[in-house]
Structure 1
Amino acid sequence: MPSEQSSLFTATQSELFDAAFGGSPGRFPLPAAADPRESWYRSVALAGQGRYGAAAVELRRRRPDNTELASLHASTRASWLRQVGKHERAGHFDGRAVFLVGLTGPPESSDAVEARSDALTGLAADALGRGRFDLSETLLARSAAQRDGPFDTGSWRPALRAAWVAAELAMMRGDGSGAVRHAECARALANDADSLRHLVKTDLVCAAALSCVGEITRANEAAVQVAYAAGMHGLLPLRWAATMLCEGTGGLDAGMVASVDLAAEIDRRGGSTTD
């Protein structure tokens, strides 16, 4: 396995953006970042590969140079914690993300729209993980309101993240048809995305929604495909989640790695110590 320490060459911003939100999510080792924005891209890419320890180090490497980026840093840390089941701790970071950009008055830039939307969607996901479904719904509505204004650039990412959480909320409420509806909305949004990681995550949400309407065989088949795609693109956390869904909907294909072994690999990469 290549060492993160072997990454000695300097990136262009487009290379790190492509690893974080484009077509090369499994690229490793990653080039070095030259500024705080690139450092954020780099940390997002590392976490998508399950390299949470390296991602946390990267996120601390350069202080954000504006409040919107600082808020995105906090939201990003929160998302890592949720991915390993630490919703209570994630809420502290999402709360900081909201505090940094504020919620009084209209957003003054597209960066502020993105940061506010991410923070509120993160808080909605935290509330969902703690069983506070009505609060989660309220926060999703406030997140949507941030994207309904003159500075909304039509970026697919904030709306897509909100659609994932809306689908997950419907699943937790036992609303299978609502889960499928929100998952289909996510898929439509993902059609405008260049990010393979986001496309794979959307397919995972769709597979989970199928299981909620009793389409167990289809859900299992879809989850198997997600696990293979995540493995092919080096997306260990998504591979782990898809594998758990496979195990809950009929089992693994021959040759697939069990979820417990994938979880152990995430731990080795720093997932259990993400903070």
Structure 2
Amino acid sequence: MTPSDLLDVAFGPDPGRFPLPAATGPRESWYRSAALAGQGRYGAADVELRRYRPDSLELESLHASTRASWLRQLGRHDRARRFDGRAVFLVGLVGPPRSRDTVEARSDALIGLAADALGTGRFELAQTLLARSEEHRQGPNGDRLWRPALRAAWVSAELAMVRGDGPTAVRHAESARALANDADSLRHSIKTDLVLAAALSCAGQTTRAHDSAVQVASAAAMHGLLPLSWAATMLCEGTGIADAGMATSADLASAIDRRGGSSID
């Protein structure tokens, strides 16, 4: 495995590969930190994200958005908002984007702030921020940016869920599924299946939601994606009885903690 393969682990077809090669520069270091966090190795991901100084404001913004996403995964939305706010500050929201990297960084930051708002009960603000994010993806520099569009669809589905609107949640989750089908990232595909399972539960399709959550938990475990396995297992437990042989969500949470989840700040 070569450092150039880090992209395939972070945002491609091989998310469970471990150990990983060393990064040779700031961009690869970001890929490596994203890959490690996807495996639940938060302590190692935290060290990696600090290893290189970002070589552009856009990459520094993505660093901040990435750290915020880890905090949200661990339920710390208020803390995440600080880093998403910094991500916005670094690239600004006024004026035409300099590059696709600018569009990606702006969109990521706004989607992160929307997720933070959702997690703290400010639903109208979340909706507004999602709309702003979509505006920044319009135009030639925003086309083919699959990851921000997919993340926006996830958060849109989650927003509908917390509002109790199951049909809208399923519609957004199915839109996310279509986007994920066109991407190469297995981790993002599994996360999309998890969002769809949760949306089905919100829509009252409990049996289908439970069966889907079991499949997601199995796929996540097979590929070493501990955070997704934990989240899917919690959904399994919430929609029925976890299948025999499955680890409990409490055990998976403890495993995340042992890998440095509690150290992220």
**Fold in common (TM above 0.5):** yes
Give the corresponding residue for 2:182: 192
- From 136, 144, 147, give the equivalent of 2:137: 147
- From 214, 230, 235, give the equivalent of 1:240: 230
Give the corresponding residue for 2:73: 83
- From 160, 168, 173, give the equivalent of 2:150: 160
- From 125, 129, 137, give the equivalent of 2:119: 129
- From 7, 12, 16, give the equivalent of 2:3: 12
Over residues 242-267 of structure 1, what are the superposed CA-to-partner deviations in whole Å (9 max), with x where a residue is unaligned?
A: 00000000110110000000000000
2:195 corresponds to 1:205: yes
Looking at structure 2, the residues matched to 205 and 153 of structure 1 have their Cα atoms a distance apart, in angstroms, of: 24
1:1-275 to structure 2, matched below 5 A, reads: 11-13=2-4, 15-275=5-265
Per-residue deviation, 1:272 = 1.2
Task: Report SS of the residue matched to 2:140.
Answer: coil
Per-residue deviation, 1:11 = 3.0
Per-residue deviation, 1:273 = 1.4
Amino acid at match of 1:11: T
Looking at structure 2, the residues matched to 169 and 143 of structure 1 have their Cα atoms a distance apart, in angstroms, of: 15
Per-residue deviation, 1:105 = 1.0
The root-mean-square deviation of aligned C-alpha atoms, in Å, is 0.8
Range with greater deviation from structure 2 (258-267 or 102-111): 102-111
Per-residue deviation, 1:149 = 1.4
* Aligned residues of 1:11 and 1:33 also touching (Cα < 8 A): no
Looking at structure 1, the residues matched to 3 and 43 of structure 2 have their Cα atoms a distance apart, in angstroms, of: 23
Per-residue deviation, 1:153 = 3.2
Looking at structure 1, the residues matched to 182 and 219 of structure 2 have their Cα atoms a distance apart, in angstroms, of: 19
Looking at structure 1, the residues matched to 89 and 146 of structure 2 have their Cα atoms a distance apart, in angstroms, of: 24
Percentage of matched positions with identical amino acids? 75
Over residues 121-174 of structure 1, what are the superposed CA-to-partner deviations in whole Å (9 max), with x where a residue is unaligned?
A: 000000000000000000000000000012113121110000000000000000
* Aligned residues of 1:11 and 1:34 also touching (Cα < 8 A): no
Looking at structure 2, the residues matched to 42 and 12 of structure 1 have their Cα atoms a distance apart, in angstroms, of: 9
Over residues 200-231 of structure 1, what are the superposed CA-to-partner deviations in whole Å (9 max), with x where a residue is unaligned?
A: 00000000000011100000000000000000
Looking at structure 2, the residues matched to 263 and 40 of structure 1 have their Cα atoms a distance apart, in angstroms, of: 24
Looking at structure 2, the residues matched to 274 and 201 of structure 1 have their Cα atoms a distance apart, in angstroms, of: 21
Per-residue deviation, 1:18 = 0.4
Over residues 170-215 of structure 1, what are the superposed CA-to-partner deviations in whole Å (9 max), with x where a residue is unaligned?
A: 0000011110010010001001110000000000000000001110
Looking at structure 2, the residues matched to 176 and 214 of structure 1 have their Cα atoms a distance apart, in angstroms, of: 7
Looking at structure 1, the residues matched to 59 and 254 of structure 2 have their Cα atoms a distance apart, in angstroms, of: 32
Amino acid at match of 1:71: S
Task: Report SS of the residue matched to 2:141.
Answer: coil
* Aligned residues of 1:177 and 1:213 also touching (Cα < 8 A): yes
What is the number of residues matched between the two proteins?
A: 265
Looking at structure 2, the residues matched to 150 and 198 of structure 1 have their Cα atoms a distance apart, in angstroms, of: 24
Over 4 Å off, 4+ runs: none
Q: TM-score with structure 2 length normalisation?
A: 0.99
